[in-house]
Amino acid sequence: MRALPDHIAACAVSALLALSSLAAAAPVDPTAARKLHFDAIVIDTHDDTTQRMLDPAFDLGERHADGNIDIPRMREGGLDAVFFSIWIPGTVTGEVAVQRALTQIAAVQRQVAAHPRDLVLVTTADGIRKAAAEGRIAVLLGVEGGHMIGNDLANLRRFFALGVRYMTLTHSVNVDWADSSTDRPRNVGLNDFGREVVREMNRLGMMIDISHVSDATFDDVLALSTAPVIASHSSARALCRVPRNMNDRMLRDLAARGGVAHVNFHMGFLAQEYSNALKANDGRIDKSIDAQIVERCGDNEACQIITGSQLARERVTNGTLPRVEWNAIVDHMAHAARVAGVQHVGLGSDFDGADMPYGMEDVSGLPKITAELLARGYKPQEVRGMLGGNLLRVMEQVEAAARR
Ligand SMILES: [Zn+2]
């Protein structure tokens, strides 16, 4: 975002290059595609809606005209499990960061408590399956940025006890113990304390999320972790050259250790043209959007998320930013599947934290992805994996590694 979760960077190669590695299959029966989608366990590993939940007036149970996520639209999209992101800017550190993370965890817990028929807080792969069988949406927690542990493993353990099941090691700036992909190298990967964090996450059974980290940090994590790791919301750098995306070598290495890369839906990570347009003329468009966001929202991050998205769409409408279509998401999934294997791809939308492509204005659009994957020739079992089965496998392996 912009000042926010993921608006920052954008890309460079045409998404067209990614067009299905598979031969187009026979035409897909739309009814069968819908049935598969609603029958499968669909998991989204990254949603920034938590910022909106900080407003006591926000109700996840109501249908909203803005934003990307609420219960009615999650139902329409056939979403079975969602990781709500606990996120504050990486420049906020120390005890303040810890406290703000706890406040956000409480905000998610309040929404779950307010909607017991629709939502249930879950911490295991089995919990997700059970929730799906009961017809409830499994809510999980992910901490987006190691700055929120305040350089103290006791806080990591506290988050785990509260139900947090992944931590993204950095956000868009370095933390004291790990480098970010969008900051200047400092530790060149993990330092000694960073290695302790990884070991403790393995011990607890908390997934390690390498989205946002530098390539060197990624390599250090992979060399050290005894359990598979995930990218909760990262797309393919071969299709969109930004530091936030993963190159083919990283995709292969992640897969070789059993991990899953969850494709990010942000237009600036999907399409090079969009990324280039944002960065052109010293980032003139990006800066103008940022300035308007601050003018309208101040430091209200929920407002910033919604407004940033609206301002980006205004610029697509007036032609200053290119239009990116939703099927670019599937181009990235197909690329990752070709490079890393179909068992190592998933969905990490970045809903309510990024600029969504056209046709994927909110979570209700998810069934289109299933139909498109089938149309591109993936087998139903492979599609189920990409929708959520692959992540369930990682969660089980992380849980098993912690028991050892
Ligand atoms: Zn992010």
Side chain identity, residue 132? A
Residue entry with tokens 């919990």: 127
Q: Is 212 a catalytic site residue?
A: yes
CA distances from 378 to 135, 302, 367, 371, 375 (A): 27, 37, 15, 10, 7
Expressed in angstroms and rounded, the spacing between residue 213 Cα and the centre of ligand 1 is: 10
Task: Give the tens place of pLDDT for each residue, 186-238.
Answer: 988 999 999 999 999 999 999 999 999 999 999 999 999 999 999 999 999 99
Residue 109 CB: number of other CB atoms within 10 A?
Answer: 16
Q: Is 233 a catalytic site residue?
A: yes
Mean pLDDT lowest for which of 7-11, 126-130, 133-137? 7-11
Find the catalytic residue in 147, 212, 332, 344.
212
- The contacts found for 319-323 with CB under 8 angstroms, 24 or more apart, are 320/277, 320/285, 321/274, 321/277, 321/278, 321/285, 322/271, 322/273, 322/274, 322/277, 323/358
> Cα 265–267–269 angle (5° rounding)?
75
Q: Are 82 and 44 in contact (CB under 8 A)?
A: yes
Q: Is 144 a catalytic site residue?
A: yes
pTM equals 0.94
pLDDT for 26 equals 65
Task: Give the tens place of pLDDT for each residue, 325-374.
Answer: 999 999 999 999 999 999 999 999 999 999 999 999 999 999 999 999 99
**Does residue 147 or residue 20 have the better pLDDT?**
147
pLDDT for 144 equals 98
Which residues share a beta bridge with 84? Answer: 47, 141
Q: Are 77 and 363 in contact (CB under 8 A)?
A: yes
- The DSSP code for 50 is H
Expressed in angstroms and rounded, the spacing between residue 134 Cα and the centre of ligand 1 is: 31
β-pairing, 164-168 vs 137-144, is parallel
Task: Give the tens place of pLDDT for each residue, 327-341.
Answer: 999 999 999 999 999
Q: Are 229 and 398 in contact (CB under 8 A)?
A: no
Find the catalytic residue in 7, 147, 171, 344.
171
Task: Give the tens place of pLDDT for each residue, 248-289.
Answer: 999 999 999 999 999 999 999 999 999 999 988 888 898 999
Distance CA 43, CA 343 (A): 14
Expressed in angstroms and rounded, the spacing between residue 5 Cα and the centre of ligand 1 is: 5
Residue entry with tokens 């993921």: 6
pLDDT at 24 over 60: no
Q: Are 260 and 346 in contact (CB under 8 A)?
A: yes
